[in-house]
Structure 1
């Protein structure tokens, strides 16, 4: 297809890279296993400087590189049964995202994902915890398929697949390292599958790839920082931070979507 969707340009390179370098480091920290919600902020932050579609295209090769480092670190700590439930829905979500790229309303997706994230965390804080100890939920193929599909779709649009994925993973109450490892394995599959429709839609233009290459050296540094932090926090503290960030990201997505529609 036409390459017209690798649109926009960096009109102020200095300010763009002053913003983009910290963004890549934050996403790397998230990929390394600490504060997973940070990864969702990448495209919204870069959108301050460039077209959203260009921001998503720039980040995808960087995410793919980060995934390699993350997978190596967590290669022995992931849940095979969970991935079997999530991946088919995720791939279907990516396919739907690619086929509806021209007509999809990104703001409505932000509202849906944001509202679900806020409800999920609020329900955990104010309902489940008040009932006492929250028991781990069992695997559920239907729920996992739906949330996996939403994650794949949201990931295709703006690399925002974390909140729907968290809504399936958190209630399982996996050990923090196993949870991160499962998330890492999920997203390396999702991100590499996304390369196909991104290339088909012309998102991986020479200009976008060149900017990705300039930012690429900061990817392993961010992942290393995330691994370092992950290995130094307790399981309880990890989940407190994870739920808090999921809530904040949900509020941000909800506010962005509502603001754009009014």
Structure 2
């Protein structure tokens, strides 16, 4: 299937999702959450995860190319092993999870994450909790949610915002995390779930120009948001995305 074979409604949903994914990867994180239900509506829940993954990786490349110098590798090296475990668990469980029930559950998890973010903002917490349990739970949950629904954005927002990272370091760390984890997921989608095929990948390539435009728009928007407002902006866009997921 190519973009020219799609019905007009599916074409509109796919291209809109591609633009939003590009924006999300360069700083407008709630936009990526909004792209998930659009793709699910066009292709179905499980199939849409395979459609989304190569698009996410293409957008990750733009984000890493622009923000690669700002990553906090201390945080990343702590998270990667746990995230890999979460991906494996998600792969094993994904076959048995109902799309609608999982999407509703993810919306609830996102709202809980937002509550914790707001609590930490009001409490003026300066550092992420210094415990292996917190890092392990965030890594496992991030890996699981990104494998099953490409919905790890709020989980990583919770972890990285609680780390009190500056704006560019926050974006750079998230960019590297998702590029590494998304590439790690590819074999599971190809040989485990069979949701990435040659035809679906060619369809992904046709959306690259819109991903690029979205990435540039995301950079433009983030540059115009003051440091002190950026954290509020991330929380607000994540909240909107959570409402979309529940609905």
Matched, 1:84 2:77: yes
SS at structure 1 position matched to 2:30: helix
CA distance in 1, matches of 2:134, 2:151: 19
| 1:165 equivalenced with 2:156 (yes/no) | yes
Aligned to 1:5: none
CA shift, 1:101, in A, is: 2.7
Corresponding residue to 1:247 among 223, 234, 239 = 239
Paired position in structure 2 for 1:154: 145
1:108 is displaced (CA, Å) by 4.7
Mapped to 1, the partners of 2:138 and 2:105 lie a distance apart of 12
Q: Is 1:98 matched with 2:122? A: no
Q: Is the 8 A contact 1:154 1:160 kept in 2?
A: yes
State the TM-score, normalizing by the size of structure 1. 0.84
Aligned residue in 2 for 1:4: none
Distance, in Å, in 2 between the alignment partners of 1:49 and 1:77 is 36
Give the equivalent residue in structure 2 for 1:3.
none
Residue 165 of structure 2, aligned match among 170, 174, 185:
174
Structure with more helix by fraction: 2
Instruction: List runs of 5+ in structure 1 lacking aligned partners.
Output: 1-9, 257-262
Counterpart-to-counterpart distance in 1, 2:153 and 2:49: 15
In the aligned structure 2, how far is the partner of 1:81 from the partner of 1:110? 32
Change (3 A) 1:12 1:62: closer
Whole-Å separation in 2 of the counterparts to 1:142 and 1:84: 15
Instruction: Judge conservation of contact 1:16–1:49 (CA < 8 Å) in 2.
Output: yes
Cα shift at 1:140: 3.5
Is 176-185 or 163-172 further displaced after alignment? 163-172
In structure 2, the residue matched to 1:188 is 179
Alpha carbon RMSD of aligned pairs, Å?
2.3
Contact 1:89 1:145 in 2 (8 A): yes
Q: Distance in 2 between matches of 1:87 and 1:121?
A: 23
Q: Distance in 1 between matches of 2:63 and 2:122?
A: 36
Does residue 32 (structure 1) correspond to residue 26 (structure 2)? The answer is: yes
Question: Which residue among 59, 64, 67 is the counterpart of 2:60?
Answer: 67
The answer for the alignment partner of 2:103 in structure 1 is: 110
Count of aligned pairs between the two proteins: 245
Aligned to 2:10: 16
- 1:123 deviates by 4.2
